[in-house]
Structure 1
């Protein structure tokens, strides 16, 4: 449309008193919101964003991230391991899927014991076929995609295939991990071939590396589906690799791999100050622990205390101690043992559990509670700390959230490789001793087909109005539920953005002591916490790596990566 405009006076002589001037072009419309993604590595994050831009949804994006992390973050997660998938929709529905690894059929409670009944060192157990569970991530991705995916299956693989085939640049995160764990990272010739230089040392920061074997594996799965991973030559290669490194007559078999299934599980949900919190149930302890910690803290006015008050974090430590006491005794694979999930997360139980917590001092001791449905004859296990893990999250245009945590357990898992990827050491998440000192069986003992207990805590949150507002989780073994609960407290109680919430100082109870994050204001609160009864205090850098996507006050969405890893994951 043309409109009548008055020309500048200097031009009137030549143009007349008035003229018809075209309307200046309208600015291009703002791009419609397609969603956002959070991942530990920016290249994996871009893989997820690419799916959203192509019209995919949060499920598509999360799967593409998991696949890309197999390439660029091989020390932490990938298709040689397993994971948990939590999806929360705008209508309040929630789905949780279990892709945790399983023990071979031949595994028995004495799986890790030496012939004389003794227990070898953890390192011996880890760097052997005994530690490898049947990988679950491809089955999990397939199940999630068939139920909720929008883009073609093969499309989700393209960013990961390109990274593996064309090469990617080693960042400081991968270099540091490969240097610190060089023996595991270079256990096999295949691992050394692409990750190590001619001098046998890890490829330097800035080096472009190519993983052609992984590219070929991903391309075949993209074309033919999960069948080629769980059956045929690729499954047999995994089984041969694991069995050859297993110091027992029977190890993993191709039949163990072909029998694997990902499972939909009942979510674990609770409420906190009107917000609905949902996460993963057994075999994960993470969802239960997050709900328990928050439930025990709800009677305290943390907002009034504030995020820089030592009393706030003292209360947080006390709730952790009680939740983890329950975790050690009761939580394992619910397909094999009775786990009193409803009793452990019942509001009345948590209120009673919280009663001894005092702002004025530390509990002298903690013990497991007696929730409804609790088995009586149980013993604590001797599970080691978990390590290598990656968390990622996505939200799409519909407001649907996906929170997905993936792991191969320790850095570079078992060190064994097959088909271009590292194989997990998840079976060391079982209690290597099947009984406690009193002879009672440990819930998290090894059994054939069983899934080891996990700390992973992918979580989705709805606000009091029922709107999905946060997908959050973390890496860092037993610290994961603590990181996740801390982020929710920051978001809900203190009104922090997702980035600010996951950046809060880290504090955690370990046995009789506590750890304070070095370089934060908490370091200066040590004396106050000591006065509250926390006598054994260690100050050190925090071994944490959280991630989230969350809704801000203005309705926009923010992607958040833990500030502690930002420098190390930058691509040179």
Structure 2
């Protein structure tokens, strides 16, 4: 723990046993706000808060609804990270619900007969890619710690929507229209439950506005509401294991793997920035890269006063990303099985060393990982191979402030769009194990940190974030979906608000810029041509041909104590208040 003290971690005792529900307080009520990626989810959260529930209670209701209405992004058969601020203690904690590989996982499980990585879609749409779901275990652990309402009451809105039906939204339809061809329609391709759920007799996806009912999910929620162990040790676990083990490309997950899963309460990882503390989840989350971006920026030559209007400020932001991503890709993995130089990665001297590589005049000639081990006294240096983890997009994010002033910033996922496309109990199974590197050694034979191993958690890009002011009070919550891009999206909102003086919504609306490796992706539709040209002239390899599909949700506490929210217009985000 010495290295964590150095990193300004908030110290908490671990939650070792079930505790009674947190008693409601008589303290003065603070403003309440919910921001999610879907109107049904926002209303579910508000409904719980109206009933006197906590931010954690609301998060449970929200995720249960998102699992139904936004199944392409997250679900109860997936996982996530929750960062929680307890206003009564001015303390931040992290609840880790990241999935784990089965005990029978092997380093070569994603290699084909020729010892080459199998195609991503073959791996994704298979039983091989499903990890033990961590979402419900995480939500249950958080509820034991911070719940105000009865667990069983938190699934009512989701159950009603599953029973009575919900209208297919434009975004869900768009996902089906673009990616429905990858959902198996015949048993030769794979289990067909998802095709039967989403497609009509004409073999076309149900249109926008179609009333979609999911009685299987309603029954699953009934079992979970009565006892969460039904998921991990009861009939649901058996159904998940059976589905995972079906061909083609049968997986190795067993009921024993599912029963053994345990969510974890962690200390938060924090980075000082200007006069605030920015906090997130430790590995296997990649939040440390967000902290590195901020630390590199603070040690650099600094932004001009022109803020987002100055292309050179964007060039500085891009270079800070490139350096942080290089280190993240090289070193971050499950710390239960791999030593990660966290102390070194956030050491001010190391950040200053990395920042010194940034030029005011032109792009960096090369981008490689640094050597944070020399600043990492708590562990022995390791030589890692070059990462081979693939870049995929998915996930959802939401933020909540409750009447007690407690805050949740939570990112949840089933990994890729519709996970494995396999369904159990009305839920999509995750394909989180494709977040591992398919190769376990690089071309030089060096071990890759994020390689597959039994019971290991794959590295995650999820980076839910909470910011505290210099008095330790809640200031802002942010985060985003978007695969590896999450780090860049989240950092953008922090820079936009704290460096460029923007409102949360204006920060969210800024063009998304993702600089991982030599290529710098810039959101063409949001970025002016003058910015694209200036960054190219600076020497950056700019790709302005792709849309950057973030889903940022932000809440900021203003100086007068009121709340200001922001929802990403790139998705179906909605801000809700009471």
Structure 1 length as normaliser, TM-score? 0.90
1:432-465 alpha-carbon deviations (Å, 9 max, x no partner): 0110000011110101111100100000001223
Task: Give matches, 1:9-48, under 5 Å.
Answer: 33=30, 35-48=32-45
1:86-113 alpha-carbon deviations (Å, 9 max, x no partner): 0123343110111011111100111111
**How many Å apart are 1:40 and its aligned residue?**
0.3
CA shift in 2, pair 1:33/1:197, >3 Å: farther
- Of 407, 415, 431 in structure 2, the residue corresponding to residue 409 of structure 1 is 415
Q: Does 1:382 align with 2:388?
A: yes
- Of 57, 61, 65 in structure 2, the residue corresponding to residue 64 of structure 1 is 61
CA shift in 2, pair 1:462/1:554, >3 Å: same
- Who wins on radius of gyration, i.e. which is larger? 1
Determine if contact 2:30/2:404 at 8 Å carries over to the other structure: no
Please provide the CA RMSD for this pair.
Answer: 1.9
**How many Å apart are 1:34 and its aligned residue?**
5.2
Work out the CA distance in 2 between the residues paired with 1:537 and 1:292: 24
Determine if contact 1:172/1:568 at 8 Å carries over to the other structure: no
**How many Å apart are 1:408 and its aligned residue?**
0.5
1:536-566 alpha-carbon deviations (Å, 9 max, x no partner): 4333322211111221344211232102224
Work out the CA distance in 2 between the residues paired with 1:567 and 1:52: 19
Residue 290 of structure 1 is matched in structure 2 by 290
**How many Å apart are 1:252 and its aligned residue?**
1.1
| Structure 2 residue matching 1:95: 3-state secondary structure | strand
Work out the CA distance in 2 between the residues paired with 1:554 and 1:135: 41
Q: Does 1:168 align with 2:146?
A: no
**How many Å apart are 1:74 and its aligned residue?**
0.5
Residue 226 of structure 2 is matched in structure 1 by 223
Work out the CA distance in 2 between the residues paired with 1:196 and 1:149: 39
Work out the CA distance in 2 between the residues paired with 1:440 and 1:150: 49
Moved more, 430-439 or 342-351: 342-351
Residue 258 of structure 1 is matched in structure 2 by 259
CA shift in 2, pair 1:96/1:143, >3 Å: same
CA shift in 2, pair 1:143/1:492, >3 Å: same
Residue 179 of structure 2 is matched in structure 1 by 181
Work out the CA distance in 2 between the residues paired with 1:222 and 1:542: 37
Work out the CA distance in 1 between the residues paired with 2:102 and 2:421: 18
Residue 519 of structure 1 is matched in structure 2 by 525
Determine if contact 2:102/2:454 at 8 Å carries over to the other structure: yes
1:293-328 alpha-carbon deviations (Å, 9 max, x no partner): 011111444361311110111000000010011011
**How many Å apart are 1:482 and its aligned residue?**
0.7
CA shift in 2, pair 1:49/1:433, >3 Å: same
Work out the CA distance in 1 between the residues paired with 2:249 and 2:561: 56
Residue 12 of structure 2 is matched in structure 1 by none
Q: Does 1:508 align with 2:511?
A: no
Task: Give matches, 1:433-444, under 5 Å.
Answer: 433-444=439-450
Residue 102 of structure 2 is matched in structure 1 by 104
Task: Give matches, 1:315-334, under 5 Å.
Answer: 315-334=316-335
Moved more, 58-67 or 234-243: 58-67
Task: Give matches, 1:480-491, under 5 Å.
Answer: 480-491=486-497
Work out the CA distance in 2 between the residues paired with 1:198 and 1:315: 53
Residue 158 of structure 1 is matched in structure 2 by 156
Work out the CA distance in 2 between the residues paired with 1:297 and 1:258: 44
Q: Does 1:86 align with 2:88?
A: no
Work out the CA distance in 2 between the residues paired with 1:304 and 1:88: 32
Gaps of 5+ in 1: 1-30
- Of 93, 96, 101 in structure 2, the residue corresponding to residue 95 of structure 1 is 93
| Structure 2 residue matching 1:131: 3-state secondary structure | coil
Structure 2 length as normaliser, TM-score? 0.89
Work out the CA distance in 2 between the residues paired with 1:185 and 1:479: 25
1:95-135 alpha-carbon deviations (Å, 9 max, x no partner): 01110111111001111112342322111111111111111
Work out the CA distance in 2 between the residues paired with 1:266 and 1:567: 30
1:453-487 alpha-carbon deviations (Å, 9 max, x no partner): 01000000012233201111000001101111110
1:493-514 alpha-carbon deviations (Å, 9 max, x no partner): 2332222221111112143221
Task: Give matches, 1:182-201, under 5 Å.
Answer: 182-186=180-184, 188-201=191-204
Determine if contact 2:98/2:133 at 8 Å carries over to the other structure: yes
CA shift in 2, pair 1:89/1:232, >3 Å: closer
Moved more, 176-185 or 324-333: 176-185
Determine if contact 2:37/2:397 at 8 Å carries over to the other structure: yes
Work out the CA distance in 1 between the residues paired with 2:152 and 2:486: 32
CA shift in 2, pair 1:539/1:118, >3 Å: closer
Residue 6 of structure 1 is matched in structure 2 by none
Residue 455 of structure 1 is matched in structure 2 by 461
1:324-379 alpha-carbon deviations (Å, 9 max, x no partner): 11011110000010011111112221112111212221110121111133633211
- Whose relative contact order is higher, 1 or 2, with alpha carbons under 8 Å and at least 6 apart? 2
Q: Does 1:556 align with 2:562?
A: yes
Moved more, 169-178 or 183-192: 183-192
Residue 20 of structure 1 is matched in structure 2 by none
Work out the CA distance in 2 between the residues paired with 1:96 and 1:78: 19
Determine if contact 1:86/1:279 at 8 Å carries over to the other structure: yes
Residue 9 of structure 1 is matched in structure 2 by none
Determine if contact 1:310/1:522 at 8 Å carries over to the other structure: no
Work out the CA distance in 1 between the residues paired with 2:533 and 2:100: 45
Work out the CA distance in 2 between the residues paired with 1:539 and 1:183: 24
**How many Å apart are 1:136 and its aligned residue?**
0.7
